[in-house]
Structure 1
């Protein structure tokens, strides 16, 4: 069994359309039988799969609202990168004739995605996934899947761990260290340095940068953009005053886009990676979240899969104009990456243009 999201990732555009068309037809059949669909599928051959089903709540056979709600739920959980194919499938003569117009569906899907985004606030509460510890002097969150004595010791003396690790970056704003724990696991420790009392007081009125990155990584994972897994977050406090904060994430080894896309580099993998990057760029307008820094060094290639790092400037936008201005600045920055590599510029220019058009057309 596999999620439709993961199944479609490495498919061509044509294959994605075919599989989505097949999926939506099967959803329609289930609805006719008063059953609900999920995104879980079982692949039975190179061209067929079956859907996992669940019973719908009791409702009138003539009432279609539960069917529409289930369809919207499935499309909400579908990675936003696949939204662009729906317009090719949504026409009056197709299986969707009993559903609302696509524009109506898209608006409801967008609103539901934003509602799911708000539910991420639970990542700062004690529950089955997260363990929260707080006092007058600290606020700490650990993702339970990665909890253990080694991580506990690290959080007790993060500055010592940073000093013992390999310093990757050290500037006024942040210090980044690659640290190898006793169990052999490599992690990234990022300390957000205080720039003075006034700055610390200002940051205390809003979310710390570690908290922004923590929640941003969870949101990116939810919408299908890979990023290093969160392990723990720590804020050193004095009551409400945040002195400094730390973020510990898993370490992802791989080339950056700036290393890969060089004229002297072997170029056979370029189109494949570029297509994966395009999927990422086209995701942001569908949910109106902005990364804030599309430097080529913020894209790590791990097993031919782009992973986004450095979420310090990450933000979620409610208003389209604010998002558009931020996103276009990100695209401008992404374009500047390739000024010294004409081959890469030629490859990415249509992708950037498509991303701009996607943003302007996604005024939900």
Structure 2
């Protein structure tokens, strides 16, 4: 697979070549492909060293020695607590350089827990999560806190059919020894991990996981489930906001950014292979050549082809000078769509993949803005229900839409315009589009109020189809354990 451009750039800064890096101990290291790059500071790569496969961590910059030692100390702390972690094979530095190197054993037949979780069967996911909760409890019992609590910081060694053999704690840099770990700190840390889990799966199994955690810690009684659930919801909202509202608007692993006084351009790294137009003039020219899906006063939408891939370009227009000034202090609707697309991806809610964002600027004022996303060759909800669906398929689609609504409610997300044309049906599953009115609410009161409006807007689509309307009512009644929003939306009566 080779090294990425950012990895090669980091090596070049220090005069290093991936094929042969000489260590101070006289051995040679060959880098094969990078796993993570922190610009100018750190490189994690698959490598070979003395005839064996390893993971190499290279630390560069003025703080290289400090970060390398902190990573080493974290791994040694895990080992001292008898918590499984890959062995350090060498801790050295590059010859004639300040670059520090730590070589770690490569665990065969393994993948990080985030990848395993997304690909595993429901049964295997539950088994994984139970084991992770037990490992976190072991860490806390040993006075260890993983400050970078993500699924990707656990390594799952498995055999065929998703059978887990062993789970390793990795990333020693995030490990801290805490002299007196309070219950609040411990539950906060556990909540951070569980905030990465599917919201419905979490609701179903949280009491079981808390009982397991309590048993491993030797506590006399488990913590209050509702209290921990609120902690998890707060963590999830803050995590999604840090990522979608801030991180994807700057240079990071997922996004490449370029900006100047004339504009701001961001492109998903997943679509860097496409020659995406990066100026307003180029985008306008492309839109004129292809099919307009919508040509309104404030918004123009076109589907177009770039290097053989169909994409959607949504241009948000500025009507007049007053409109321009009204947008001065607010993110453009294109930026809102960009953030929400990444938010939904992070929270595992189906949506069209974001490709690029362009905001034009003039004298500090925002002008036209463009949001580019993948084109979904799929019918919307109205078209799907108007098609040739048998009774079983129709019931399954109704349930899938209701489950999508329930997931959004539990995530405290409101769509803002939940009409049938804003829900595509891809392979029988509903996919949300048109995200410029979407919000993730910090407080449950506002989330519930907005969710009621979403439900009312959705049900308006079926007011002339009694059979379909009643099918939705029946499904809502089953999926929603708490009928309060359904009663407030007048879908159910008291």
Pairwise same-fold verdict (TM > 0.5): yes
1:82 paired with 2:208, answer no
CA distance in 1: counterparts of 2:231 and 2:423, whole angstroms: 31
Residue 150 of structure 1 and its aligned partner are, at CA, apart by: 2.0
CA distance in 2: counterparts of 1:81 and 1:46, whole angstroms: 24
Residue 277 of structure 1 and its aligned partner are, at CA, apart by: 2.3
Aligned twin of 1:247: 371
Deviations 1:96-121 (A, max 9, x none): 45442211211211121122123220
Deviations 1:160-187 (A, max 9, x none): 1111111111112211101012x20110
CA distance in 2: counterparts of 1:19 and 1:242, whole angstroms: 45
Deviations 1:48-104 (A, max 9, x none): 545633168465799585764553233110022323313663686x66454422112
Aligned twin of 1:127: 252
CA contact (8 A) 1:28 1:96 kept: no
1:107 paired with 2:225, answer no
Residue 310 of structure 1 and its aligned partner are, at CA, apart by: 0.3
Query: 1:34-53 residue pairs with structure 2 within 5 A?
Result: 34=139, 38=151, 49-50=164-165, 52-53=167-168
CA contact (8 A) 2:151 2:196 kept: no
Q: Match of 1:157, SS?
A: helix
Aligned twin of 1:30: 135
Moved more, 52-61 or 69-78: 52-61
Structure with greater proportional helix content: 1
Deviations 1:289-332 (A, max 9, x none): 21111111111112223211001211222233322221111101
Aligned twin of 1:220: 344
Aligned twin of 1:307: 431
Residue 205 of structure 1 and its aligned partner are, at CA, apart by: 1.8
Moved more, 314-323 or 223-232: 314-323
Residue 233 of structure 1 and its aligned partner are, at CA, apart by: 0.7
Q: TM-score, normalised by structure 1?
A: 0.83
Q: Match of 1:261, SS?
A: helix
Q: Match of 1:206, SS?
A: coil
Deviations 1:123-158 (A, max 9, x none): 111233222222222221112221246213676511
CA distance in 2: counterparts of 1:197 and 1:347, whole angstroms: 48
> 1:265 and 1:31, CA in 2 relative to 1: closer, same or farther beyond 3 A?
closer
Gapped regions of structure 1 (runs ≥ 5): none
CA distance in 1: counterparts of 2:325 and 2:179, whole angstroms: 59
CA distance in 2: counterparts of 1:19 and 1:359, whole angstroms: 31
CA distance in 1: counterparts of 2:404 and 2:327, whole angstroms: 30
CA distance in 2: counterparts of 1:60 and 1:185, whole angstroms: 52
Moved more, 128-137 or 31-40: 31-40
Aligned twin of 2:262: 137
CA contact (8 A) 2:188 2:231 kept: no
CA contact (8 A) 1:203 1:242 kept: yes
Moved more, 340-349 or 58-67: 58-67
1:192 paired with 2:316, answer yes
CA distance in 1: counterparts of 2:227 and 2:118, whole angstroms: 23
Query: 1:137-176 residue pairs with structure 2 within 5 A?
Result: 137-148=262-273, 150-152=275-277, 156-176=281-301
Indicate the RMSD between aligned Cα atoms, in angstroms: 3.3
Q: Match of 1:152, SS?
A: coil
Which is higher, the Rg of structure 1 or of structure 2?
2
Q: Match of 2:382, SS?
A: helix
Match of 1:288 among 408, 412, 427: 412
CA contact (8 A) 1:38 1:52 kept: no
Residue 338 of structure 1 and its aligned partner are, at CA, apart by: 1.8
CA distance in 2: counterparts of 1:230 and 1:166, whole angstroms: 20
CA distance in 2: counterparts of 1:300 and 1:172, whole angstroms: 24
CA contact (8 A) 1:178 1:187 kept: yes
> 1:153 and 1:210, CA in 2 relative to 1: closer, same or farther beyond 3 A?
closer
Moved more, 338-347 or 35-44: 35-44
Q: Match of 2:397, SS?
A: helix
CA contact (8 A) 2:254 2:269 kept: yes
> 1:230 and 1:38, CA in 2 relative to 1: closer, same or farther beyond 3 A?
closer
Query: 1:328-347 residue pairs with structure 2 within 5 A?
Result: 328-347=452-471
